[in-house]
Amino acid sequence: MSINVAVFVGSLRKASFTRMVANSLIELAPPGLACRLVEIGDVAMFNDDLEGQKPAAWERLRRDVAGADAFLFVTPEYNRSVPACLKNALDVASRPEGKNAWAGKPAAIVSVSPYKMGAFGANHALRQALVFLDVPAMQQPEAYIGDVAALLDKTGKLNNDKTKAFLGKFMADFEKWATALGRADTDGGF
Ligand code: FNR
């Protein structure tokens, strides 16, 4: 039985390097991982006052999170942290209080930067939130993809075998992590 992985991209722009890397990760995933992108660009900023009349995109996101077995977060770094759209998605699907749709499901994080020194801050800021959300995030291998523009060709595909091998192994290890950490007693369990 395959593991349903909801994939979140922390960039909203069309030509996003991060989305290109996410698409490559989906292509490199072993057959046991059924990966699906979950869009977050239309998810209104969390505001508890809206719970009475929930935006449709909140309900869709909460359903997508509740229905997944595991999560793959692929994110750029904004000001050494997580972009607001991704943090907002975490917040929206963690509410209403007592209904944290993320809880207990395994995750992996790939952070991306066009700079040599970027991507660490976003990765670890995300990990901090995931601790509180009760999402066990794979610890090894770590994936900080720096200098990303040099790793992609004009069509947005990875242009070298070393990076493909690294990310392919990352996804294979994520399958092992998700299999080991998946809880059969959650809605999305397997
Ligand atoms: C950035 N960028 C950036 N890069 C980085 O490595 N560390 C950082 O702290 C930041 N901070 C930051 C803040 C804001 C508001 C923006 C818009 C950008 C640059 C960022 O990595 C670059 O724009 C990437 O191309 C964004 O990822 P996508 O959209 O290509 O996936």
Distance 79 CA to ligand 1 centre (A): 7
Residue 170: per-residue pLDDT:
98
- Write the pLDDT tens digit of every residue in 6-45: 999 999 999 999 999 999 999 999 999 999 999 999 999 9
81 Cβ below 6 A of ligand 1: no
Q: Which of 11, 25, 113, 120 to mutate to test the pocket of ligand 1 (most atoms within 8 A of CB)?
A: 113
Distance 31 CA to ligand 1 centre (A): 32
75 Cβ below 6 A of ligand 1: no
- Write the pLDDT tens digit of every residue in 42-66: 999 999 999 999 999 999 999 999 9
Q: Determine the angle formed by the axes of helices 17-28 and 161-181, rounding to 10 degrees.
A: 70
Which CATH number, 3.20.20.150, 3.40.50.360, 3.40.720.10, 3.30.1060.10, labels domain 3-181? 3.40.50.360
Whether pLDDT at 185 is above 50 = no
Give dist(CA 74, CA 123) in Å, integer.
9
How much is the average pLDDT of 143-168? 97
- Look at the pTM and tell me if it is higher than 0.80: yes
Domain ranges of the chain: 3-181
118 Cβ below 6 A of ligand 1: yes
CB within 8 A of 51, min separation 6: which ones? 95, 96
Whether pLDDT at 188 is above 60 = no
Phi, psi at 30, each rounded to 5°? -65, 160
Residue 1: per-residue pLDDT:
77
Phi, psi at 66, each rounded to 5°? -65, -30
ipTM, 2 dp: 0.99
Residue nearest to atom 17 of ligand 1 (CA): 78
Distance 73 CA to ligand 1 centre (A): 16
114 Cβ below 6 A of ligand 1: yes
